[in-house]
Chains A and B, each alone.
Chain A
Amino acid sequence: MDLESHKEGNSALSDKIKATDEFGLIYHPEPGGEEEGLGRPRTEELLLNMGPQHPSTHGVLRIVLDLDGERIVKATPHLGYLHRGVEKLSEGKTYYQIITLTDRLDYVCAMTNNYAYVRAVEKLLPLKIPERGEYVRTIVAEMQRIAGHLFWLGTQSLDIGAMTVFFYTFREREVLLDIFEMLCGARLTYSFYRIGGVQNDLTAEMIQRLRRFIDDFPSKLDEYDTLLVNNRIWLSRTRDIAVISAEDAVSFGMTGPALRGSGVHYDVRKAEPYGVYDRVEWEVPLGKNGDTYDRYWVRMQEMRESAKIIKQCLDQLPEGPVMVDQPGITYPKRDKIMVDMESLIHHFKLAYEGIKPPKGEVYCATEVPKGELGFYIMSDGSNKPYRLKIRAPSFVHLGAFDHMARGYMIADIVTIFGTYDVVMGECDR
């Protein structure tokens, strides 16, 4: 084939490509390089579509990568594959019904979402939770943090190629899920936190199991450490990968371990204490370099701190109810409904109308394993929120994705996905 017709064929093809360019799928390279002589290799940027069906995206995330050889020039996240319109649905549901929707946000640690939501409603009402209720809430939230971080650790190392860790972390996570199952009958979508307290109390057997787990847990963490921090491949794939400076992380609005990995001291549990976090001793681990390894280290230390918090809470656990008994706000006890006329009426009215918080607006932030999960509720005084906005940490973190991915190799992209601990259910809502 002569050069002229080859070129012609090329330009015809590129016109075709141009026509489909609007989908953002096919990159149209600028022609050039050919004229400058045959001895010189032609270079062009390659557009690669990654996801939405890709095992390491942990859900359905699509990234369009501009590549120069193996280097990432630009990474554009395309979100929304898991968008279910939770915010819109909430506007048509009563305050109690929304609790089940929040389970479906970050399904890896569903209870922390319940917690964030009910705290916002309680701030709006306002409502004070019984002492024991607060303790149970804190204990369960920290159990969820451990379960969430274990899930992250397993999948992150699986993505990078250290497969063994996955089996061990899921072994430990299973113990926690069993306790959750005893606690509320569910293993994934719990709806355990209620407006005014929690659904059930911890029983002696659960406490015993939890104590046994907490006593063993630090040694399990050491076990994971031996599998990873002595592994040269793991180290070279996490050290100095996806570095973000403290200023940039703050400017991007990052929160949670992703922010603390860069050395910024911001943890909602310390900054605006809720639950019983101000009554137990614990520390906020901080990274230095803001790379993937530091974020790994921060999460590992957080699990240790969580274990410490649970242990102290179990020691301090007071007696008493776990749920407020306030007619018109919380459901009456089942046995009372059958014999007490007022309870029956309150139950009917709650199920029929729901609670009616006063007019106003609140923003309430809660520290979930991913970062700061905020609920902004705008109430017009009716039984449904006028507007409910979920400030999802995963969504905000993906805003920094392009910034963090630029300049790294294509093989690092799965590390960069994993380092945020993104759950798309929460990101897309």
Chain B
Amino acid sequence: MHPTAQKIQAQFPEHLIDAREAFGELTLQLRRSGIAEVCRFLRDDPDLAFDHITDICSVDYPEDEERFEVVYHFYSIRKRHRIRVKARLPEEDCTIDSLTGLWRGANFLEREVYDMMGIRFNHHPDLRRILLTDDFDGYPLRKDFPTEGRGWRNTFEFIPKIE
């Protein structure tokens, strides 16, 4: 087992579900209730020191019981290592704790996840759509959203309809 994974296992046995290493990258699968706590540890622990937030994104698995997966990538500028942290959430309650209190860059990245996948972040200071318009209907990166859209574009008045 990877030393980082061992450390998390020892510290938070109740939050860690699984730790994998593939393509030279370490992935921790966490329970969503522990995401903020474990991430705080990842940032503050002097040996891990994940001070740089690289990315937050989400993946949709419509068939699964816990439909959504939020994927975090962290990097440590001091220690020069990367980690991927994942947490699954069910569709009926797709909320997860925000990390804006830990990394300020999480603000925009979480807004994008909310915009594209409809995942809500608890305690986010300004959870609004970021790339799409405020009156956009639906969450386009969900697998049940058609790539060509839902005909919303055809309702624009300034595009003349050809009879």
Identify which of residues 110-145 in chain B touch chain A, using a CB-to-CB cut-off of 8 Å. Answer: 112, 116, 129-133, 140-141, 145
Closest beta carbon of chain A to B142's beta carbon, Å: 10
Q: Are A79 and B59 in contact (CB under 8 A)?
A: no
Q: Which residue of chain A has the shortest Cβ distance to B51 in the bound complex?
A: A250
B22 at the A interface (CB under 8 A): yes
Q: Are A88 and B82 in contact (CB under 8 A)?
A: no
Interface centre among A264, A362, A399 (most CB of B within 10 A): A399
Q: Are B59 and A386 in contact (CB under 8 A)?
A: yes
Q: Are A374 and B105 in contact (CB under 8 A)?
A: no
For A83, what are the chain B residues with a Cβ–Cβ distance below 8 Å?
131-132
Q: Are A372 and B54 in contact (CB under 8 A)?
A: yes
Identify which of residues 226-277 in chain A touch chain B, using a CB-to-CB cut-off of 8 Å. Answer: 248, 250-254, 264-266, 271
Q: Are B108 and A376 in contact (CB under 8 A)?
A: no
Closest 7 CB pairs of A and B: A253-B105, A399-B108, A80-B131, A389-B57, A391-B55, A252-B105, A253-B53
Q: Are B147 and A89 in contact (CB under 8 A)?
A: yes
B92 at the A interface (CB under 8 A): no
Q: Are A374 and B55 in contact (CB under 8 A)?
A: yes
A92-B147, A374-B73 known; A398+B108 contact, CB < 8 A: yes
For B150, what are the chain A residues with a Cβ–Cβ distance below 8 Å?
none
Q: Are B54 and A374 in contact (CB under 8 A)?
A: yes
A302 at the B interface (CB under 8 A): no
Q: Are A376 and B73 in contact (CB under 8 A)?
A: yes
Q: Are A264 and B77 in contact (CB under 8 A)?
A: yes
B25 at the A interface (CB under 8 A): yes
Binding site for A on B (CB under 8 A): 22-23, 25, 27, 51-55, 57, 59-60, 71, 73, 77, 80, 82, 84, 103-105, 107-109, 112, 116, 129-133, 140-141, 145, 147
Closest beta carbon of chain A to B121's beta carbon, Å: 14
Contact with B along A383-406 (1 / 0, CB 8 A): 000110101000110111001000
Q: Which residue of chain B has the shortest Cβ distance to A372 in the bound complex?
A: B54
Task: Select one of A123, A251, A365, A387 contacting B103, CB under 8 A.
Answer: A251
Q: Are A253 and B52 in contact (CB under 8 A)?
A: yes
CA distance A296 to B109 in the complex (A): 27
For B52, what are the chain A residues with a Cβ–Cβ distance below 8 Å?
250, 253, 266
Closest beta carbon of chain B to A126's beta carbon, Å: 8
For B54, what are the chain A residues with a Cβ–Cβ distance below 8 Å?
253, 363, 365, 372, 374, 391
Closest beta carbon of chain B to A403's beta carbon, Å: 7
Task: Select one of A254, A372, A387, A428 contacting B131, CB under 8 A.
Answer: A428
A-B residue pairs in contact (CB < 8 Å), sample of 20:
A85-B147, A88-B141, A88-B147, A250-B52, A251-B53, A252-B104, A253-B103, A264-B77, A266-B52, A360-B23, A362-B25, A363-B25, A374-B54, A378-B59, A395-B108, A396-B108, A399-B107, A399-B109, A400-B104, A400-B105
CA distance A220 to B15 in the complex (A): 57
Q: Are A387 and B59 in contact (CB under 8 A)?
A: yes
Closest beta carbon of chain A to B149's beta carbon, Å: 9
Task: Select one of A88, A250, A365, A387 contacting B140, CB under 8 A.
Answer: A88
